[in-house]
Structure 1
Amino acid sequence: MRDRDAWLCFADEAGQLLRPPKACTWSRRGRPSLVRVRAAGSGRISLAGPVCQKVDRRTRLVLRMMVHRGRKGEKKGFREKDFASLLDAAHQQLGGNIVLVWDDYNHHVDAAMRELIGKRPWLTLFRFPTCTPDLNLAEGVWAHLKKSLGNLAPCSIDDLDGLVRTRLKRMQYRPDLLDGFIAETGLITTPP
């Protein structure tokens, strides 16, 4: 990685529905706490992005979001071209070669994705071993996001979109938090 002057990037995807993740909360003694969730209508937010690290540079988080409103014919997640444009954006923002590590998701391993990756000489790809989400530090980003959304009950997909964007933007400006996600995995990413 150092001889290629490359960024080490760990990528993953996640999604969030209108129904909030469960979290602990306070209530009066003897009364269970209730968070009313309307969750009327459909909608989903899909998220994808790599957490990128390079020696002597601050850790970066590059993100893409898709809001699905449940309309007929609307795509429901990231596809090969969406991942390729995300990688192109990361390459442009980081200004260097990328060593990408990601999982064996269907859209990461199919022929269309292999072709798109082959057209990018600045990109080197490695895959995580099967069933090892604890090694992917991008999982820490999504877990932190979902914990911050715990017990919030947005009324519409647009409200949820605003909440998710705000929280992810805060994470982008906290490289110490991103470094914490790296430390949580136990991976040693700095040379001795």
Structure 2
Amino acid sequence: MTPPTRRTWSKRGHTPVIHVRGRSQRRFSTAALACYKHDEHSRLIFRPKHHVRPRDAPRRSFSWSDYRDLLIAAHRQLNGPIVLVWDNLNVHKDARLQTFIDDHDWITAYFLPPYAPDLNPVESIWSLLRRSCQANTAFTDPDHLINALRRGLRQLQYRSDIIDSCLATTRLTLTTTHRQGQ
């Protein structure tokens, strides 16, 4: 992974050059759910995954079953129904995942409009990670990267104020379809 550069310096008139090791064929993916509920602390539920398949393998990212497992784990942790607001990632629209969602009454899914990352609070989470635990770091090996990623996500996981601010940047609000107190 080419490290995100937050800042650098060099002598005046010289372009800064950052040397990193060659690109690796290893692949890491992370899925996250930013969970919001009225009158409760916001939560972040995430799953990092290290793909160890050969380079020519058909999938080097989360599959529909990985997302299914994440939703099941979130349902257990949250102990309640889930309303998903998803971007238009092709795996999110997989027929098998849609069948799973349709078969379970505790999940309701809505899709954001195409090309609207500014409406997705999780995009702000990724931005925060790139600017904090990943910035200015050339990872020495896959374990170094995955440990830094987990540490950064754990730090965000317990900061409901930051998770709330990720929702605030979207200018979306939490609403209910029924009156409170009934």
TM-score, normalised via structure 2 length:
0.87
Alpha-carbon distance in 1 for matches of 2:88, 2:24: 32
Shift of 1:106: 1.3
Query: Is 1:50 aligned to 2:33, yes or no?
Result: yes
Alpha-carbon distance in 2 for matches of 1:162, 1:74: 26
Alpha-carbon distance in 1 for matches of 2:165, 2:23: 36
Shift of 1:151: 2.1
Alpha-carbon distance in 2 for matches of 1:56, 1:93: 17
Alpha-carbon distance in 2 for matches of 1:159, 1:70: 19
Alpha-carbon distance in 2 for matches of 1:80, 1:162: 25
Structure 1 counterpart of 2:88: 104
Structure 1 counterpart of 2:99: 115
- C-alpha spacing 1:190/1:25, structure 2 compared with 1 (3 Å): farther
Alpha-carbon distance in 1 for matches of 2:82, 2:53: 34
Report the secondary structure of 1:88's partner residue. helix
Report the secondary structure of 1:96's partner residue. coil
Alpha-carbon distance in 2 for matches of 1:75, 1:162: 23
Counting strand residues as a fraction of each chain, which structure ranks higher?
A: 1
**How much identity, in percent, do the aligned residues show?**
38
Report the secondary structure of 1:185's partner residue. coil
Shift of 1:33: 3.7
Report the secondary structure of 1:168's partner residue. helix
Structure 1 counterpart of 2:67: 83
Alpha-carbon distance in 2 for matches of 1:44, 1:142: 16
Report the secondary structure of 1:124's partner residue. strand
**Size of the alignment, in residue pairs?**
174
Q: CA RMSD in A?
A: 2.0
Report the secondary structure of 1:153's partner residue. coil
Report the secondary structure of 1:166's partner residue. helix
Q: Is the 8 A contact 2:2 2:23 kept in 1?
A: no
Alpha-carbon distance in 2 for matches of 1:147, 1:39: 22
Alpha-carbon distance in 1 for matches of 2:140, 2:53: 15
**Equivalences for 1:57-76 in 2 at 5 Å?**
57-69=40-52, 71=54, 73=57, 75-76=59-60
Per-residue displacement from partner, 1:97-154 (whole Å, max 9, x unpaired)?
1111001211111211111112221001111011111001010001111122122101
Residue type matched to 2:113 in 1? P
Structure 2 counterpart of 1:3: none
- C-alpha spacing 1:154/1:85, structure 2 compared with 1 (3 Å): same
Q: Is the 8 A contact 1:42 1:70 kept in 2?
A: no
